[in-house]
């Protein structure tokens, strides 16, 4: 069942989503060659709890850290560790905050040092795919419109869309209905209605769409070891379009 948010709930969602976005903005200066993903996790954790919130991933279904950090061929759900980032890497940091009983979810793929040409193309295409998906959100549109816009942009450029993971409704629960696929057909799926809140978070691979899960039972990696990028926003369906709850004026996406 899809929960339509009340005006009071929307205000609470704005607060937690802003904190999630501010966490991403805060961590950016620390993403440099030589830093460990554990250190990035520690900084994000401290910032979140200092702002009277809780990092939603921590202990969620047994996940051991406060953020997800996915490097290079890692698609999503990477566990922060003592791995040091290297010049030319890309790293996705996925942040979800729990503030006043509501979850806010966002992520971004960062360049570590100087980006390589293929990585730059992939990351820029993934960011644009998210933007095109968001453009489709309005009352009366269909969920399939979002996936079709994303798929129709990235596949002609030689990239692939991960099928096994998707966006999701969010609010009092970290994951709610509906599921938001990042591929599909225009006109398919449920109708979007004012007050719905969900994430759009396309995972785009430089090679094939296939994946496998590492022995840690969390980290998803590309089967062909190609690079993978992801961007995510939490979206409110508004009166005449949408509001990107996790977008800050200071951020580029």
Band (pLDDT 50/70/90 cuts) for residue 249 is confident
For all residues of the chain together, what is the average pLDDT? 97
Band (pLDDT 50/70/90 cuts) for residue 74 is very high
pLDDT value of residue 51: 98
The domain 7-244 having CATH identifier 3.90.230.10: the answer here is yes
Q: What is the CA radius of gyration of the chain?
A: 17
Nearest to 7 by CA among 197, 138, 179, 249: 197
Residues 6 or more apart from 186 whose CB is under 8 A from it? 142, 144, 145, 148
Whether the model pTM is above 0.85: yes
Burial of residue 241 (number of CB atoms within 10 Å: 0-12, 13-18, 19+): middle
Is the pLDDT reported for residue 130 higher than 90? yes
Percentage with pLDDT > 90 across the chain? 98
In the Cβ-directed half-sphere of 62, how many Cα atoms lie within 13 Å? Answer: 3
Q: What is the dihedral of CA 136, 142, 147, 149, to 10 degrees?
A: -40
């Amino acid at each position: 069942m899809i929960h339509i948010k009340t005006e009071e709930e929307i205000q609470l969602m704005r607060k937690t989503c802003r904190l999630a976005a501010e966490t991403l903005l805060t961590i950016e200066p620390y993403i440099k060659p030589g830093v460990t993903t554990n250190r990035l996790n520690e900084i994000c954790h401290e910032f979140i709890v200092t702002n009277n919130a809780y990092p939603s991933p921590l202990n969620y279904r047994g996940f051991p850290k406060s953020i997800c950090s996915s490097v290079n061929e890692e698609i999503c759900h990477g566990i922060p560790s003592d791995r040091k980032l290297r010049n030319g890497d890309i790293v996705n940091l996925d942040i979800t905050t729990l503030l006043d009983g509501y979850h806010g979810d966002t992520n971004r793929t960062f360049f570590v040092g100087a980006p390589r040409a293929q990585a730059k193309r992939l990351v820029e295409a993934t960011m644009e795919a998210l933007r095109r998906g968001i453009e489709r959100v309005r009352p009366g549109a269909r969920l399939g419109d979002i996936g079709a816009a994303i798929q129709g942009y990235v596949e002609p450029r030689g990239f692939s869309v991960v099928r096994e993971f998707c966006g999701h409704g969010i609010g009092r629960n970290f994951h709610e209905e509906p599921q938001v696929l990042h591929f599909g057909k225009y006109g398919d799926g449920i109708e979007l209605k004012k007050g719905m809140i969900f994430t759009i978070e396309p995972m785009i691979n430089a090679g094939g769409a296939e994946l496998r899960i590492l022995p840690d039972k969390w980290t998803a990696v590309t089967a062909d070891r190609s690079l993978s990028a992801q961007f995510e926003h939490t979206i409110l369906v508004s009166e005449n379009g949408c509001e990107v709850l996790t977008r800050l004026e200071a951020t580029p996406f």
